């Protein structure tokens, strides 16, 4: 069990221990991990325990995160960066401590971490602030066919407004076609934006190599890490990107927490996004000067409780060790892929045939709509996603109206996979497929 922080007089949150990557991290102990997630002890209306296989949509929250949020609301719910009284200082220390913990998780510096609501807001921030300022008519943005809508729509809107061109790296056997990517880079795009891990296919993209190639072509690089940060060791400096975004609520944190990481000199040169309180240095009636980064991008009172909760989530993940988390989820994914094919006749599984793959398995049972699959699974307490997973262009590319998706988190086990398989066989029995 991970404990909550010791309290000094101000209740200052100690910086998380650095993201040390042991050569041989202790393997993750599922029983111990599951005991940290109170929701796993809750029974549904049929009296069944939760088999949660929708972590790609949002993660469950460990007790330390719930406690961090409750602790703020119960003991020191003051605004930050303003009051000189004790609980205000305590709130500011906890908020900035959370920023430090997130920075440690990403291998970054704290002042390059901007708190936002989610990955969607982070990408919008970059599109409206950086994109609107630096891009001009005719400029090219390179995206991919496997993007979540969050990494498509903001660029579509910006392209329509500024007359930009959009090009897309196509799929080749469930992966990005690197040859086409190289050809697109030859057209000298100003920005390349792509996902670290596909939220439908589970594909893990070679982000370091793609970033280096994009930089050689003179492009800025934004990476959507929503499906990577909770599941593997991510070092933004090693990857070398200019912007890296993720959603806190998919990474064991509360909803309302998300992160934009950006290289300091780029963030400093960008105009602000939202403006108003908190993000200023000095204001007169007609002009203002802005706060230094990251404060410049955090206008108004932020979701303080959510940020503090995300800090606790980052410390929880680091204590588990991200290499151990990845090893656990990789083994589980391999087990699930093998067992599903073997035990569920006719199942169609999407994604790359081999190689690096995250804990996301999208599938269909022929002749049965995924909504019906999800509905029957729900009765045995198994929660999966059914639909297009905010990736309609990708489904269209694969010729699918929808798919069902099982996705894993640190608390997922083989028993969850076995419950999924039993549920899918029940679906097939009911539909006599």
Token couple for 420: 């999924």
Q: Which of 189, 240, 351, 370 binds another protein (CB under 8 A)?
A: 370
Using CB under 8 A as the binding rule, whether residue 379 contacts another protein is answered as: yes
Q: Does 164 bind another protein (CB under 8 A)?
A: no
Query: Which pair of tokens denotes residue 67?
Result: 């406690």
CB nearer another protein, residue 281 or residue 371: 371
Give the single-character DSSP code of 126. Answer: I
Shortest Å distance, C-beta 418 to another protein: 19
CA 179 to chain centroid, in Å, comes to 27
For residue 392, the minimal CB distance to another protein (Å) is 8
Q: How far is the CB of 143 from another protein (least distance, A)?
A: 21
Q: Which of 7, 136, 281, 371 binds another protein (CB under 8 A)?
A: 371
The window from 66-74, 221-229, 340-348, 379-387 that contacts another protein (CB under 8 A) reads: 379-387
Q: Which of these segments, 63-71, 143-151, 243-251, 393-401, binds another protein (CB under 8 A)?
A: 393-401
End-to-end CA distance of the chain: 45
The reply to whether 402 sits near another protein by the rule CB under 8 A is yes
Please identify, among the stretches 124-132, 146-154, 221-229, 392-400, the one whose residues bind another protein according to the rule CB under 8 A: 392-400
Question: Helix H segments across 298-404?
Answer: 304-320, 322-343, 370-379, 392-397
- Total residues found in the chain within this entry: 433
387 binds another protein (CB under 8 A): yes
Which listed residue (108, 229, 374, 390) is catalytic? 390
Q: CA-CA distance, 419 to 408, in Å (whole number)?
A: 13
Task: Give the one residue of 375, 414, 415, 425 binding another protein; rule: CB under 8 A.
Answer: 375
Known catalytic membership, residue 323: no
Upstream peptide bond of 74 is cis (omega within 30 degrees of 0): no
Name residues contacting another protein, limited to 330-369 (CB under 8 A). Answer: 368-369
User: CB-based contacts of 25: which residues, under 8 Å, 6+ apart?
Assistant: 321, 323, 324, 327
Stretch of 115-123, 182-190, 211-219, 374-382 contacting another protein, by CB under 8 A: 374-382
Sign of CA dihedral 198, 201, 207, 210: negative
Q: Does 404 bind another protein (CB under 8 A)?
A: no
Contact 51, 43 (CB under 8 A): no
DSSP letter at 71 equals H
Among 228, 386, 391, 421, binds another protein (CB under 8 A): 386
Cβ atoms 284, 91 nearer than 8 A: no
Taking the C-alpha atoms of residue 313 and residue 64, their distance in angstroms, rounded to an integer, is: 8
Q: How far apart are CA 57 and CA 64, in angstroms?
A: 21
Task: Scan for tokens 């002749």, then name that residue.
Answer: 367
Q: Choose one: 69-77, 259-267, 303-311, 425-433; the region binding another protein (CB under 8 A).
A: 425-433
Smallest separation, CB 234 to another protein (Å): 32
What does the binding site for another protein look like in residue numbers (CB under 8 A)?
368-372, 375-376, 379, 386-388, 392, 395, 400-402, 430-432
């Amino acid at each position: 069990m991970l404990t909550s922080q010791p309290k000094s007089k101000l209740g200052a949150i100690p910086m998380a221990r650095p993201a040390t990557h042991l050569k041989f991290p202790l393997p993750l102990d599922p029983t111990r991990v599951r005991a940290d997630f109170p929701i796993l002890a809750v029974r549904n209306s049929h009296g069944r325990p939760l088999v949660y296989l929708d972590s790609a949509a949002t993660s469950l929250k460990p007790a330390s995160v719930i406690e961090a949020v409750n602790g703020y609301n119960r003991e020191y719910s003051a605004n930050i960066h303003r009051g000189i009284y004790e609980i205000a200082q305590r709130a500011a220390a906890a908020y900035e401590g959370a920023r430090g913990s997130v920075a440690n998780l990403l291998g970054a510096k704290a002042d390059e971490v901007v708190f936002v609501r989610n990955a969607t807001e982070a990408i919008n921030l970059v599109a409206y602030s950086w994109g609107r300022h630096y891009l001009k008519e005719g400029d090219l943005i390179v995206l991919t066919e496997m993007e979540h809508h969050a990494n498509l729509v903001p660029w579509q809107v910006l392209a329509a407004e500024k007359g930009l061109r959009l090009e897309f790296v196509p799929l080749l056997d469930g992966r990005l076609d690197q040859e086409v990517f190289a050809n697109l880079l030859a057209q000298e795009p100003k920005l390349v934006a792509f996902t670290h891990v596909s939220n439908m296919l589970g594909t893990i993209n070679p982000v370091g190599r793609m970033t280096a190639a994009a930089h050689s072509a003179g492009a800025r690089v934004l990476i959507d890490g929503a499906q990577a940060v909770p599941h593997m060791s991510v070092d933004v400096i090693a990857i070398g990107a200019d912007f890296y975004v993720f959603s806190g609520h998919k990474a064991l944190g509360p909803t309302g927490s998300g992160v934009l990481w950006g290289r300091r000199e780029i963030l400093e040169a960008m105009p602000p996004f939202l403006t108003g309180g908190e993000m200023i240095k000095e204001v007169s009636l007609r002009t203002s000067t802005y706060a230094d980064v990251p404060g410049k991008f955090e206008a108004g009172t932020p979701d303080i409780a959510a940020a503090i909760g995300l800090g606790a989530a980052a410390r929880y993940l680091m204590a588990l060790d991200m290499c151990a988390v990845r090893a656990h989820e990789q083994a589980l994914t391999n087990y699930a892929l093998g067992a599903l094919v073997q035990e569920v006749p006719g199942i169609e599984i999407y994604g790359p045939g081999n190689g690096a793959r995250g804990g996301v398995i999208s599938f269909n049972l022929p002749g049965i709509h995924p909504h019906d699959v999800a509905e029957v699974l729900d009765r045995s307490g198994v929660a999966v996603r059914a639909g297009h997973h905010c990736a309609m262009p990708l489904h269209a590319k694969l010729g699918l109206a929808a798919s069902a998706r099982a996705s894993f988190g640190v608390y997922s086990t083989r028993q969850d996979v076995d419950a999924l398989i039993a549920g899918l066989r029940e679906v097939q029995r009911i539909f006599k497929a």
